[in-house]
Amino acid sequence: MEIAGFDALQCVYAVVALVSFLFAVLSLIGTEIGDSMHVGAHADIDADVDGGAGFTHVSPFALAVFGATFGLVGLITSVWAEMEPIPSILISTAAGLLVGGAAQALFIYVLSPSKSSHFSLEDDALGRDAEVTISIPANGKGQVAYNNVSGRVTMGARSSSGEPIPSGTTVVIKRVSGRNAIVRPLDYK
């Protein structure tokens, strides 16, 4: 299949590069655009996530940088260097992982406010209203998110009463322990 002189793989590269680049630009603009485009759809995934190995979440910006790099390098290797598909895909993936990994490292070690010496996640989060983004099961762990000057902050969360709190509920952060918030519903009596 060919579209405007591009084969199917080159079309995939172009679409991935364009969509990823646009997403990277929008994610850099900040939470204001994200909040104004919020459509209210939520995925509700109930799972107890205790006992993890301390997995660091991949930033959306790093994913977008991976996609943009993958697409651009793919176009370069397939159009200008005229490589066969397999080497083109391998080189594009390696370049995407390298540049995306560098973006993630930049996000974690430079841009992440929790690494700053003058920023305390506990001080920032305490007393804030947050939204439950992953339901908090009874005596279990879910997730909350709130916006601050640096962007959207997500944290693991537990109910202060031990009762379940559904996704979409507005809560108040009462305590913080590491990257976990102890919360209660805003309308709790």
Residue closest to 104 by CA, chosen among 148, 146, 67, 57: 57
Looking at residue 44, its pLDDT comes to 40
Judge if 95 and 18 occupy the same domain. Answer: yes
pLDDT by residue for the chain (189 residues), tens only, comes to: 555 556 889 999 999 999 998 887 877 675 444 444 444 444 444 444 444 444 457 778 888 999 999 999 999 999 989 999 999 999 999 999 999 999 888 877 776 554 444 457 777 888 899 999 999 999 999 999 998 877 788 999 999 999 999 999 999 999 998 889 999 998 865
Judge if 75 and 99 occupy the same domain. Answer: yes
Looking at residue 16, its pLDDT comes to 94
Domain CATH for 180? 2.40.50.140
Under 8 Å between Cβ of 144 and 155: yes
Question: Looking at the domain assignment, is residue 50 inside a domain?
Answer: no
Number of domains in the chain: 2
Judge if 141 and 87 occupy the same domain. Answer: no
Question: Looking at the domain assignment, is residue 103 inside a domain?
Answer: yes
Enumerate residues 6+ apart whose C-beta is below 8 A from 3. Answer: 11
3-state secondary structure of 39: coil
Give the containing element (helix H, strand E) for 47: none
Question: Looking at the domain assignment, is residue 149 inside a domain?
Answer: yes
Whole-number Å distance between alpha carbons of 27 and 163 = 34
Does the pTM surpass 0.75? The reply is no
137 lies in which domain range?
121-185
Q: Which H, E and C letters describe 151-183, residue by residue?
A: EEEEEEEEECCCCCECCCCEEEEEEEECCEEEE
